[in-house]
Amino acid sequence: MSFKRMIHSVDTHSGEPMRVITGGVPNIPGKTVYEQMRWLENNDDQLRKLMLREPRGYPPLCCNLIVPPKHPNADAGYIIMEQVEYPVMSGGNTISVVTVLLETGMLPMHEPVTELTLEAPAGLIEVKAECSNGKVTNVTFQNVPAFAPYIDAEIDVPHLGKVKVDVGWGGMFYVIADVRQFKGLELIPEHGREIARISAMIRKAAQEQLPVEHPDYPGVGITISQLSGPPTNSEADWKNVVNVASGDLDWDDPSTWTGALDRCPCGTGTCAKMATLYEKGELKINQDFRHEGILGTVYNGRLVDEVKIGVYKAVVPTVKGQAWITGYNTYVLDPMDPFPNGFSIGDIWA
């Protein structure tokens, strides 16, 4: 039997489920991985929908496509796909991509440390992977510069009232709110539904009231939200839960006030949080920062340099974390399948 599409992937998780496509996608035009990402978005967005929506996907799932690097100094390239956007950078996905590249033998593993350079849409990402007995035990990557365009900004959130937030760039623009502003709410799995509701509403209000644009990526504004608070893991400094949109929020439709919670401590969210703490004078260069996710796992961050991005004072962050392979899969699209772009249903989707 012939199929319209046959996609090979390695599924992983770092708490957050992250799929890595290793084969089945034709050559994508573009002189850089960023240009390839934009071509994919404009010409073959079916791939993202096919892999992330039902029946092959579900709201929290992220996806990555490994591509040949365009930069002469890079070992591999990758394009990141999420439920409503193509981020130029993602930390957890970077950790998963490195794990797949090395543990499957797509790139050679050198123990105890493998050094490599990846080309993300955001640019070159330097990586050090700790390896032992054929396994990747930790991945440390140096991210693109992070900065904080808003600190202690007050926004008016319908149905919630006044909320104080920060906005930080760590590869995506995050609106970050201290969870202690919401009585009785804790960053624990049992409160997941309410975390999703409140953080989705904060994201929408921030998009409407806090205009921001990255100097290098015109039109890219706030797309993601983070609730932050005291850690429960004694090894952590802060705890966070990031909410990834799974559809459009409509103020007149409460069923859309939701999203998918990031199950890992979030790499770009950790960078954005470090940038806001640095701006407040609460985190110094070369100071360790341990960031806990909703499952109690921890990413280790550090700011290693100060730079400028346009008019913004920025910092160069590193993040360290681990991912695990969960399966090897071949996904197909039957030519008679009536849902070639997948589907979503309102019981679990926004």
Residues paired with residue 76 on neighbouring β-strands, in sequence order: 118
Which of these is catalytic: 14, 90, 96, 344? 90
Q: Between vectors from CA 289 to CA 239 and to CA 65, what angle results, nearest 5°?
A: 80
Output the six-digit token pair for 188.
Answer: 């624990």
- 266 catalytic, yes or no? yes
Nearest Cα neighbor of 246 from 92, 121, 84, 128 is 84
DSSP single-letter state for residue 146: B
Rounded CA-CA distance 158/162 in Å is 9
Nearest Cα neighbor of 23 from 76, 73, 67 is 67
Which of these is catalytic: 63, 131, 264, 266? 266
DSSP single-letter state for residue 145: P
3-state secondary structure (DSSP) of residue 248: coil
Q: Name the pairing type of β-strands 135-142 and 147-157.
A: unpaired
- 90 catalytic, yes or no? yes
State the maximum Cα–Cα separation within the chain, in Å, rounded to a whole number: 62
Rounded CA-CA distance 126/350 in Å is 36
DSSP-derived secondary structure for 59-98: TT-EEEEEE--SSTT-SEEEEEE-SS---S--HHHHHHHH
DSSP single-letter state for residue 182: S
Rounded CA-CA distance 92/17 in Å is 9
Distance, first Cα to last Cα, the chain: 35
Instruction: Give me the phi and psi of 167, to 5 degrees please.
Output: -125, 125
Contact between 70 and 88 (Cβ < 8 Å)? no
- What positions carry a catalytic annotation? 90, 266
